[in-house]
Structures are given as C-alpha cells and as structure tokens.
Amino acid sequence: MSMTIADLEQLQAEHPDWQMELIEGNILVMGPSDYESDEISTRLSTFLNNWVMPRRLGRVTGSSAGFILPTTEGKDSNNGEEQPRNLRAPDVSFVRADKLKKTKRDFVELLPDLTVEVKSKTDRIKPLVEKIELFLKLGTQVGILIDPDKFTLTVYRLNQPAVVLKDGDTLTIPELLPGWELAISELWPPEFD
C-alpha cells in the first residue's frame, strides 16, 4: 500500500516526536542525529540566519521543516493515477523571500533554493548525494553536503562539477546570498579547555 502526505500527517499527529519523510509512497522514520552533526547544522543555520534575517532575504529552516516535492513523472501511464508525492526534510534549507512571503503552519509545497545535508555518524554518503541531486533536478539551485568525518563541504549545482571545500577554504553562494562568506573552519564545533 502506498502512503500519502495525509497518512504521514496522521502518523505525525500520533507520534509528534518522530521525524519522518515520505519517499515514493514509503514513510521513513528518521533517527536522531549524533550530537556533532546537529551542532554543525545549527552552526550553519546560525551563520546563514545572521546574514539572511537583517537583509530580509528569505527563510532558513532546520531538519524538521518538510517540503512537498513536485512529482517527477506526473500521472501513471498505466492507470491515470497520481504518482505518490514525496515529502523531504533537508538538515538545513534556505527559501528566498519572494518564494515564501509568509510562513506556513504546514508542510510547504515548494523547493528550497538551498538544501544542506550533514552526514551523521551512521549515514552513508550515497543516499545523501542522491537526495541533494533529487532536489537539484527538481529546481533547487544549490545543494551542500557536509562530511564531518573528512572535514569537507561539497557544493553541488545542476550540470556542474561538484566543488569540495576544506579548512582554509571559504564558502560563498553568490547566486542566493551575494556578499556572504563563511570560512569552512567555522563549521566545526570548538573544543573548550
């Protein structure tokens, strides 16, 4: 049986502490992230918000914000039924102000302009890259994969080679955030004496 957005909403109401995504009619319950990965996500969100909010450029959200993605195939050629809708939640996302002028108390049916995945201790890289590539194929402008194990940040854009950044490099996203810069070394959690 193929699950729907309504089914996911019902499960979410019954289990508000669960984080779920809907992928090709299957509900995926997401486990909690490891502490370091979540801290990196939070650090990136903070750096983004510190730039975005005073300039009123858009909205930055974390891993609980769900995006209802457009279908990639439209109607099923065999029986005319709609294909299952996907609901995905990047670890960090940015949506331009002109795309979402007012926030919603629901999942949003649009694509973020920036989607970020942070590899947790138990994640495999391939599914994270596939998730980023799906967003790009559907219309997201920039995708980022942060790998704390290798201290790298990889920037993806549709039909362009991926760019790997590491300590000593600076992240810029001029097509979305003109003038914003972030030293990659700022993403890694500090060590306190």
What domains lie within the chain, and their CATH numbers? 5-71+79-187 (3.90.1570.10)
With tokens 């995006």, the residue in question is: 67
pLDDT score, position 161: 97
pTM (2 d.p.):
0.87
In the chain, at which residue ranges do the beta strands (DSSP E only) sit?
19-23, 26-30, 58-61, 67-69, 86-88, 92-96, 114-118, 142-147, 152-156, 163-166, 170-171, 182-183
| Residue bearing the bigger pLDDT, 4 or 93 | 93
What's the chain's average pLDDT? 89
| Residue bearing the bigger pLDDT, 133 or 81 | 133
HSE-CB of 99 using CA atoms within 13 angstroms: 17
| Residue bearing the bigger pLDDT, 27 or 54 | 54
Q: Which residues pair with residue 142 across a beta bridge?
A: 114
Nearest to 166 by CA among 182, 187, 152, 147: 152
The predicted-structure confidence for 122-158, as pLDDT tens digits, reads as follows 899 999 999 999 999 999 999 999 999 999 999 999 9
pLDDT score, position 175: 97
Q: How far apart are CA 144 and CA 47, in angstroms?
A: 15
pLDDT band, residue 6 (cuts 50/70/90): confident
Is the alpha carbon torsion for 28, 31, 32, 35 positive or negative? negative
When pLDDT is averaged across residues 73-86 and rounded to a whole number, the result is 56
pLDDT score, position 72: 62
Q: How many C-beta atoms surround the C-beta of residue 176 within 10 A?
A: 18
